[in-house]
Amino acid sequence: MKILVCTDGSQHSQKALEKAAILAAGCNVDEVGIIHVHDENVSLSALPRGEAYAPTQEDMERFRAILEENKKEGNKILQEAQDYFEKNNIKTRAILKEGQPADTIVKTASEEGFDTIVIGSRGRSGLKKIFLGSVSSAVVQESKNCSVLTVK
């Protein structure tokens, strides 16, 4: 069995890490992948927009700096998650991706043959949905070939 656990550093994703560790310790798990996806749209929103606007060299440097900061933050979040699993003697593999989070999570799970996705019910966005956050809800809806455990 292969488990893909999603993290964005939020309290809900910490609960997902905890549940995934319990599953991994109690089952015959071949692999635990920990994925963090930084949203490409957030990075692109830093660039000015307009019909006839062409980004300047400064704009592109600012964009690259934001992307680099996103990667550093993502690696920090993944390292903290890996440290949590290591304390529980569970080996993991970190996966850092850029893209639309739900699509990227589902695609990664499918392409890499994960059996189960473990995801928190809400993430960092702070948007309070009635039942699920937008990313977790989309993962549940879009996932075709593996189970999704949504942790509250």
pLDDT string in tens for the chain (152-residue length)? 999 999 999 999 999 999 999 999 998 899 999 999 987 665 555 556 666 667 788 878 888 888 899 999 999 999 999 999 999 899 999 999 999 999 999 999 999 999 999 999 875 554 444 344 689 999 999 999 899 999 98
What is the pTM assigned to this prediction?
0.85
Please choose, from the candidates 91, 96, 137, 118, the residue with its C-alpha nearest in 3D space to the C-alpha of residue 13: 118
**What residue ranges define each of the domains in the chain, with the CATH number in brackets?**
2-43+74-151 (3.40.50.620)
